[in-house]
Structures are given as structure tokens and as C-alpha cells.
Amino acid sequence: MRNHKGNFLVVLATFAMGALLTCWAPSTQAQKSRAVPGKALTAPQQPLFAEYKGVRLGMTAQEVRTKLGEPTMKDSRVDYFVFSDTEAAQVAYDAESKVRMISADYQNGTGAPEPAVVVGGQLETKDNGTLYKVVYYDTLSFWVSYSRTTGAVFLVTITIQKI
């Protein structure tokens, strides 16, 4: 069995960067998209991507841990999972310990689903070179985003979050 302890810090640092991008990018995109008069937000009637490894919004922390196993790190509001050197996830809970956000990070995109499967269509390019797209499902009260950072070692982050 390989020792993932040395890589854990690298994955955790990458994970933290993904979480930061996840928190920053959707709110920025939401402001831009919703601030343009006459621009309609369109989303498929049925979400293309609404769960991660069987975990969905609204599940309890116990249900999540049954699906994903014991978290690598946890506190009262967030579980952190490291599955390999290239894949990690975090699951955030609301005050009732129900899932309100799921975010998965894939180092160099290894194991990440294709953007078309998650958000449909082409990704947008931001000024800093990051590729990104968010799809809002207003009637279902959540959004899904796909983000790919730039650089020699890049990170793909897929997030599902309640509105």
C-alpha cells in the first residue's frame, strides 16, 4: 500500500486553493450574469450533474459518510476527503447537518468528468486564463460549476451548491 501521507499536504493545499476559487468564482460569475439586462440565464430542465459519488444536496452527514467513508478531516460543518494523490472532496453542511455544498478537486484533471457532462457545452475563459462555467437551476435551488485553473499543474474543481 502506498503511503499517501507525504502527498496529503500537497493535495490539501491544492484542495484549499480549489475551495478558494470555488467560493470566489461563482459569486463573481453570478454578479456578472445577473447584472446584464436582457441576458437570460438558461439551464436544462434536468440537471446534467447533481451528485458526486452518490452524495447529493440535502443528505445527512451520516448518509455522506456511509457513501464516502470516514473523512480524512472533519469539523461540525465540513468533511474533507482525500481519495488519492489526485482527487479530494469537501462536503459542507448547514445548521441541520444536511449537505449544502459538494466540491471535488482533481489535480491535473485526472479522473474529472468532461465539462460537457457537468455543465454542458464550452467553458468560458476568464482574463487570468481560468476556464469556467456555472449553470443555475433556480427552480431546483442549486447551481453547478466547473473550473479549471491554469499552469503546469492545474486543478479542476466541480462544485454543487444550494442557492
CB atoms inside a 10 Å sphere around CB 150: 12
How far apart, in whole angstroms, are the C-alpha atoms of residue 61 and residue 93? 7
- Looking at per-residue pLDDT, the higher value among 140 and 39 belongs to 140
Per the listing, cell 472532496 goes with 89
Residues 6+ apart with CB under 8 A from 71: 65, 79, 80, 81, 91
Whether 7 shows a pLDDT value over 70: the answer reads no
Whether 151 shows a pLDDT value over 80: the answer reads yes
How far apart, in whole angstroms, are the C-alpha atoms of residue 38 and residue 79? 40
Percentage of the residues of the chain whose pLDDT score is greater than 70:
72
pLDDT in tens, 37-61: 444 555 445 899 999 999 999 999 9
